[in-house]
Structure 1
Amino acid sequence: MAVPDDVLTRSKIDAELATLPLWRYAGELRTELKCPTSAAALALFAAIGELAQQANHHPDVDWRYDTLIIATSSHDAGGQVTARDIALARRISAAAQEAGAVAAHG
């Protein structure tokens, strides 16, 4: 299987992360979002699911009461970060802002 041509170098990932304050790199793009309430977290989870379906690119999401832990990488690129991951992270960040979520990681 050929590796997709949108795999990002570490320097490109770092440059993109400079514009994505909710996210960090840990072999994949990761964020931990604390929502105002558990109901808000579930609504954001649903919004992330819809964004993922639209993009045909699916992150791992773990729901913990009022917090969502999200990780995204591209399975078709051997788990590397691609431009698709950055695009999805931007959409998730916008949805998180709308939901009143804040970064829960330090």
Structure 2
Amino acid sequence: MEKLTTIEIEKHLEKLPEWNYADHAIHTEYEFKNFKDCFSAMSRIAFECEALNHHPDWANTYNVLNIKLSTHDAGGVTLKDIKLALAIEGIVEEEE
């Protein structure tokens, strides 16, 4: 999969307003009501990651989930990252 240009990434991020581009990756942060809701979203996201065979760099602290996506083999953001970000957005919207 080919790495996207900055212009291509910014165009895709128009559909992902909660995400930003920095350090060769796209990033977002979600805040949930509590740890249980955060962990529930992470579990649902994990199934989507497995289905797409693409796994985020992520961390949570209590009710906050930080996600960073890039395609390591390509050295930056690819369409694979955009596809996973869109899926994550759908999952998080369902949780809310």
The TM-score with structure 1 as length reference comes to 0.86
The runs of 5 or more residues in structure 1 that have no matched partner are 101-106
Aligned mates of 1:94, 1:67 — CA distance in 2: 17
> By how many angstroms is 1:36 displaced?
1.8
Deviations 1:57-102 (A, max 9, x none): 0001101101100001001102x000000000000011111111xx
CA distance in 2, matches of 1:40, 1:21: 22
- The offset of 1:47, in angstroms, is 1.0
SS where residue 59 of structure 2 aligns? strand
- In the TM superposition, residue 38 of structure 1 has moved relative to its aligned partner by 1.1
**Which of the residues 71, 76, 91 maps onto 1:74?**
71
User: How much has 1:37 moved relative to structure 2?
Assistant: 1.7
Structure-2 residue corresponding to 1:49 = 46
User: What percentage of residue pairs aligned between the two structures are identical?
Assistant: 35
State the aligned residue count. 95
Match of 2:58 in 1: 61
Could you say which residue in structure 1 is the equivalent of 2:88? 92
Partner deviation per Cα, 1:12-59 (whole Å, 9 max, x = no partner): 100111110111101201001001221100001111111110000000
Q: Which consecutive residues of structure 2, in runs of 5 or more, have no partner in the other structure?
A: none
Per the alignment, residue 34 of structure 2 pairs with: 37
Letter in 1 for 2:17: P
RMSD across aligned positions (CA): 0.9
